[in-house]
Amino acid sequence: MTAAVSPARGKRAPRPRRPPDDGWREFVTPEGVDLRLRIGSFSERAGAFILDALIIVGVLIGLSLLLAALAWRTGMKDTAEAAAVIWLLGFFLLRNFYFVGFEMRTGAATPGKRAMGLRVAARDGGRLTASAVFARNAMREIEVFLPMSFLFATGMGVDAALVVLGAIWSGVFVLFPLFNRDRLRLGDLAAGTMVIKAPRRVLRPDLARDGPSLVGGIAFTEAQLDAYGVKELHVLENVLRKGDRRVVAEVSTRIRVKIGWDAPLEVSDKTFLAAYYAGLRARLESRLLFGHRRADKFDRP
């Protein structure tokens, strides 16, 4: 008598399919502000680098023409040699400080990144530091410019094996972002940074230009919302969670005095605090997306 064989025996359960990656990531700041940001795609980052490289080449061509005209006008051999030295120095400074200079400015983006709607951000949600910018761009020398020097050294007495090594090296580092979920290059891993999609439009209207913004039926101006920072936002959240009437009334009075809100209070103190909390949180989040992080009320907006 043969045993019945289960029809499901020997068959593996189908693996659950992973949802397609839409590029959006949870981005929680050290203060607990939860944002959702979209990372820059490989094609967007490549396009930004190509635009920046074209700008660098254009500047170098202009510098070369200027130095060539100077050498031709003087007609001196020493001038030509000096011009060559100046060109090499200019190329070194340009390729090393072009990216650093732009990414340390407000907006944390080179002209190429701005054109593609990208900016650099710290992966831990904190402020983008100068050391992180230096680290991510110092690695570019190893990732791009060093192997490129091998590739363009053909016919200059360089062994063919070095040229092949440079080609392989370049391919590995160029394609590296394709093999990690957040499209990070080696410089991003070393510096703790990432490239995100920056919003092209402001998230909130210019309150100073368009007038007060209604939050929960109460109007706050931009200046009134800029009176506090992230630290005070968390204090206000704790006050609202505890719900102590006396504390709520005291904090409501302090805020109204601080922001110069002298309109008659037609709602409860708790409703006023909840409205101000919502407006302050939205204001801080919108500024953070553009690289402006205000730690507390003493930090300049």
Signed CA dihedral, 238, 240, 241, 247: sign only:
positive
Look at residue 52 in the predicted model and tell me its pLDDT: 93
Look at residue 9 in the predicted model and tell me its pLDDT: 53
Point out the least confidently predicted range of 24-33, 60-69, 243-252: 24-33
Look at residue 234 in the predicted model and tell me its pLDDT: 80
Return mean pLDDT, the chain: 75
Is a pLDDT exceeding 80 seen at residue 218?
no
| pTM score | 0.59
3-state secondary structure the chain: CCCCCCCCCCCCCCCCCCCCCCCEEEEECCCCCEEEEEECCHHHHHHHHHHHHHHHHHHHHHHHHHHHHHHHHHCCHHHHHHHHHHHHHHHHHHHHHHHHHHHCCCCCCCHHHHHHCEEEEECCCCCCCHHHHHHHHHHHHHHHHHHHHHHCCCCCCCCHHHHHHHHHHHHHHHHHHHHCCCCCCHHHHHHCEEEEECCCCCCCCCHHHHCCEEECCEEECHHHHCCCCHHHHHHHHHHHHHCCHHHHHHHHHHHHHHHCCCCCCCCCHHHHHHHHHHHHHHHHHHHHHCCCCCCCCCCCC
Percentage of the residues of the chain whose pLDDT score is greater than 70: 67
**Bridge partners, residue 26, by sequence:** 36
Is a pLDDT exceeding 50 seen at residue 6?
no
- Domain extent listing, the chain: 24-197, 207-289
Look at residue 291 in the predicted model and tell me its pLDDT: 54
What single letter denotes the amino acid at residue 162? L
Look at residue 173 in the predicted model and tell me its pLDDT: 79
Look at residue 120 in the predicted model and tell me its pLDDT: 92
Digit-coded pLDDT (tens) for 93-107: 887 789 999 998 878
